[in-house]
A and B are shown apart, each in its own frame.
Chain A
Amino acid sequence: MVTDFRALLEALTDGQVDFVLVGGVALVVQGGPRTTEDLDICYARDDRNIARLAAALAPFSPRLRGAPADLPFRLDARTIRSGLNFTLTSLRGDIDLLGEITGVGGYAAVASVSEILTLYGRSIRVMTLDGLERAKRAAGRLKDLADLAHIAELRKRR
């Protein structure tokens, strides 16, 4: 299924979750014409936000992506506190919850390289080109090279 970005973003913002949109979707939002199938967010790790995050996603029955369907898993506040990064699928598509971004840091550092943009009528923190460049350089995969080329072209037009 194709991820319903709108539904997931609305649930997160309506649930007052502190998060920054990162990864491929952030690059698309910033103007990079590429595709990605999942929504990546970096979330704040304080207890209140973790509880909000778990509650916001609960209606979508999130479970571990790629894991056997019968594997017991419940994304509640305790689970999120016990881990850091979660690769999930849900009734509304795929979403990755990241407590840290390699090359940038935790939520506070990621928020410092973000800007508020309007998406689906809501104000959402989105990683800037500077932040995306740092993350892409640190990740160092082949697809990140292509993204770095896009970031360089986008910079020329700003």
Chain B
Amino acid sequence: MVVLEPSPEAERPLAAWQDAILASVPSGIDTVQLERFLRLSPTERLEQMRQLLLQLDEARIERGHRLPSAP
């Protein structure tokens, strides 16, 4: 009888497929933006995100919640 031992990959299936994707696909992260964001305090980070959301919300309302039409 052959006893099959689980491989380390099988024990961490989620980590395996996620790491495989992360290792093979460029993240596309803007490291300059990241560095700039890290210089802010935690409160400033949250407020900056909220200001962006407010601008997006205003734009959505102005456009009647529709994407802009093609030129």
Residue positions of A touching B, CB distance < 8 A = 1-3, 5, 25, 28-37, 117-121, 126, 137-138, 140, 145-146, 148-150, 152-154, 157
Contacts and interface: CB of A to CB of B under 8 A. Distances in A.
B7 interface: no
B18 A35 contact: no
Interface in B10-60: 14-15, 18, 21-22, 27, 29-31, 33-35, 37-38, 41-43, 45-46, 49-50, 52-54, 57
Interface of B: 14-15, 18, 21-22, 27, 29-31, 33-35, 37-38, 41-43, 45-46, 49-50, 52-54, 57
Contacts of B31: 153
B22 A35 contact: no
B22 A29 contact: no
A117 B42 CA distance: 8
B43 A140 contact: no
Contacts of B41: 118
Nearest to B40: A31
Tell which of A1, A2, A36, A37 has the most Cβ of chain B within 10 Å.
A2
Given A28-B45, A31-B34, 15 more contacts: A1-B57, A2-B54, A3-B53, A25-B46, A28-B46, A30-B42, A119-B46, A138-B14, A140-B14, A145-B21, A149-B27, A150-B34, A152-B27, A154-B38, A157-B35
Given A35-B52, A149-B22, A152-B22, A29 B14 contact: no
B22 to A, nearest CB: 6
Contacts of A3: 50, 53
Contacts of B27: 146, 149-150, 152-153
A67 B42 CA distance: 33
